[in-house]
């Protein structure tokens, strides 16, 4: 008895447009991660198996092929184990979706879902001690408007421990700079947390945001109408930190 094959393309379309966006309302970063994984997988199939995206059948994507794809990411693209595991998680997600749409493919999906993530070594997190942090905060020229802004941003990151991307997303309306000093941060997975601010941090922010509106980004420079990037020193904050364990 001949078994009809299942085209992979329609599953991909429904997964990206319906499952990821409409049904699960996943974050934009997660949507892009899933899309990029599938783009890389299609590229791998085209290069190594002479199969264009429109011609790929779901049954062609076997557990052995997925393992070859993951090995390709590490050996040819130089991806880390963490990135390899992220791509595998995306593949697991789409095949879990496929198993719900086509129950006859459950056995096929199970073989792919059985591929485990690889264990990755977690590097020791570097840090700056108080003396080094004070030296970093002393770097901006606070006699200049840009220097005062850079100092405020470095102090904000030091105070809150926020990621650079989280700081870049903070709106003036997210700051409470009066009685209860705090900031609302939007982190990974669109999770929100409230972080207290030191009185000195609040004072510095009040000074540079004196004429800012609540709908304006905190990082908007007072001297320009466009949002300015983070201080250059932020990008080297962890690169210059000594590698040692927290005391």
- Token pair for 75: 């050996």
**What is the distance between the alpha carbons of residues 52 and 42, in angstroms, rounded to a whole number?**
7
Phi and psi dihedrals of 40, rounded to 5? Answer: -65, -40
Helix (H) or strand (E) holding 176: strand 175-176
Residue 38 has a pLDDT of 96
pLDDT in tens, 224-245: 444 445 554 444 444 344 433 3
Tell me the average pLDDT of the chain.
86
3-state percent breakdown (helix, strand, coil) of the chain, nearest 5: 55, 5, 35
Residue 244 has a pLDDT of 37
Q: Does residue 136 share a domain with residue 93?
A: no
For the chain, list residues with pLDDT below 70: 1-3, 220-247
Q: Does residue 24 share a domain with residue 98?
A: yes
244 inside domain: no
Count up the domains in the chain and report the number. Answer: 2
Q: Does residue 147 share a domain with residue 95?
A: no
Q: Does residue 190 share a domain with residue 107?
A: no
Residue 220 has a pLDDT of 67
Q: Does residue 76 share a domain with residue 13?
A: yes
Supply the CATH number for residue 73's domain: 1.10.150
Q: Does residue 224 share a domain with residue 155?
A: yes
Range of the domain at 65: 8-113
pLDDT in tens, 36-50: 999 999 999 999 887
Q: Does residue 146 share a domain with residue 96?
A: no
Residue 243 has a pLDDT of 38
Specify which residues 166 forms β-bridges with.
Answer: none
Helix (H) or strand (E) holding 183: strand 182-186
pTM above 0.85, yes or no: no
Burial bucket for residue 151 (CB in 10 Å: 0-12, 13-18, 19+): buried
Of the residues 56, 79, 113, the one at which a domain ends: 113
Q: Does residue 163 share a domain with residue 212?
A: yes
């Amino acid at each position: 008895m001949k078994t009809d094959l299942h085209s992979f393309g329609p599953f991909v379309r429904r997964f990206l447009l319906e499952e990821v966006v409409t049904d699960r309302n996943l974050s934009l970063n997660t949507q892009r991660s899933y899309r990029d994984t599938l783009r890389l997988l299609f590229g791998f199939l085209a290069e190594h198996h002479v199969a264009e995206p429109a011609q790929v059948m779901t049954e062609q994507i076997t557990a052995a092929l997925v393992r070859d794809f993951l090995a390709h990411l590490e050996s040819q693209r130089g991806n880390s184990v963490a990135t390899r595991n992220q791509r595998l998680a995306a593949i697991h997600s789409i095949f879990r979706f496929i198993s719900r749409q086509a129950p006859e493919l459950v056995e096929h999906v199970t073989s792919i879902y059985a591929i485990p993530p690889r264990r990755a070594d977690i590097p020791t997190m570097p840090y700056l001690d108080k003396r080094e942090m004070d030296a970093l905060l002393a770097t901006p020229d606070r006699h200049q408007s840009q220097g005062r802004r850079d100092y405020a941003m470095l102090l904000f990151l030091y105070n809150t421990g926020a990621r650079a991307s989280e700081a870049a997303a903070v709106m003036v309306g997210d700051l409470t700079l009066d009685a209860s000093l705090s900031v609302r941060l939007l982190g990974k997975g669109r999770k929100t947390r409230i972080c207290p601010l030191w009185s000195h941090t609040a004072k510095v922010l009040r000074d540079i945001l004196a004429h800012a509106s609540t709908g304006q980004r905190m990082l908007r420079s007072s001297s320009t109408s466009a949002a300015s990037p983070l201080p250059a020193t932020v990008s080297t904050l962890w690169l210059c930190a000594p590698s040692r364990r927290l005391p």
